[in-house]
A and B are shown apart, each in its own frame.
Chain A
Amino acid sequence: MNIRKIIFLAIFLAVSVVYILSTTDQVFMLSTLHLIFPVGAALIAAYTSRIYGFKSANNGRVQLIIAAGLVSWGIAEVVGYVLDNFLDVANLIPRVDSFFFLIAYPILGMGVYRGYVTAGIKLKLVKKSLLMMVLSASALLTIAVAYFGVYKAYDPTADILTNVVNLGYGLGDLILVVGSLFAIVVAHEYGDGKLASFWKTMAAGFFTFLIGDTLFFTMYGALVMEGVKPYLYVNLIWAAAYMLLAYAVLENYIHILSVQKNIKLQLQQRK
């Protein structure tokens, strides 16, 4: 286990302990702590795009699109934090942070799709067992998300805008279902390479996010938002999802940086 993995797990463990020991009047502290991973993921992803070169095509473009999605989620978390803690508009619908949350889903979906195209995958050559597993998981997750995130999210007593936003999250999760399964297929294409680890960790992050979202829809989201235990722990699942996404982009960033440093050093030594 590398040192970065240990640090990430230690931070997550510390955040989890704080959550478990916290009392209901410490919602502000918890929401501040919650920002660590989404903001971290957004910053690292943006830096990764920078070292690839913003005008890069193929994998560099994929990283840029994924960075845009993670930055959008990072902004959503920060805006939501400000709305909840500093402005008296916590229950205003639609919330500005919803826009940034919702727009990230198709962006991330596009990023994964571009990753699939860049990998030049020939479906005929993908193992049938992997395809079956991916399709079965896809069907199960789609049913769960469609039921809880779309069907149950519709509230006939609420206004159109509220329903559009709520259904938007459900549809976003459906994009994430497809995206995470595509990410697994892409990871498989890269075998034992570092890029395979990136896609596997991204898929794990998306799956964890889906679990958080589905629990939020099934466990009375208002109680999660108010910080009532045990509903509050759904936030920890989202924190874990952001942690996985942050770790995926960090490992990729470090690898590309080391490749660049190594070749620059060789070039210098030659002079």
Chain B
Amino acid sequence: MNESSKLQQAAVELISKYFGQNTAKVYDKFFVDESDSAIVVSVNSILSDYIGKTKAEEEIKKMTEGLTL
């Protein structure tokens, strides 16, 4: 699995954690044609709105840990 698909998988898992599997399934399709930076921006946007900016940053930091972006 390359870094990009690892990031996509981690992003979908994070969305699933807070928004449930139905939302995650749609995002999984949406992220296919998205760049890594666009995925991070997209996840940051919906998470900040839902769990607050600080918690979103914390979760995204965990998500990108170990990945070379």
Query: Which residues of A does B touch, CB under 8 Å?
Result: 51-53, 55-60, 63, 118-119, 189-196, 255-256, 259-260, 263-264, 266-267, 270
Contact B17 A58 (CB under 8 A): yes
- For the A-B complex, the count of residue pairs with Cβ-Cβ distances under 8 Å equals 82
Name the one of A56, A259, A266 contacting B21, with C-beta atoms under 8 angstroms: A56
Identify which of residues 21-57 in chain B touch chain A, using a CB-to-CB cut-off of 8 Å. 21-23, 26-27, 29-30, 33, 46, 48-56
**Known interface pairs A264-B26, A270-B33; A196-B52 also in contact (CB < 8 Å):** yes
Query: Which residues of B does A touch, CB under 8 Å?
Result: 16-23, 26-27, 29-30, 33, 46, 48-56
A53 touches B55 (CB 8 A): no
Chain A residues with CB under 8 A of B22: 51-53, 56, 260
Consensus secondary structure, chain A interface: helix
How long is the Cα–Cα vector from A255 to B54 in the complex, in angstroms?
19
* B residues less than 8 Å from A189 (CB atoms): 55
Min CB–CB distance A112 → chain B (angstroms): 17
The 6 closest A-B pairs by CB, nearest first: A52-B20, A191-B52, A193-B52, A60-B20, A53-B21, A56-B20
| Overall SS of chain B's interface | helix
- Give complex CA distance A56, B17 in Å: 8
| Contact call A267/B20, Cβ cutoff below 8 A | no
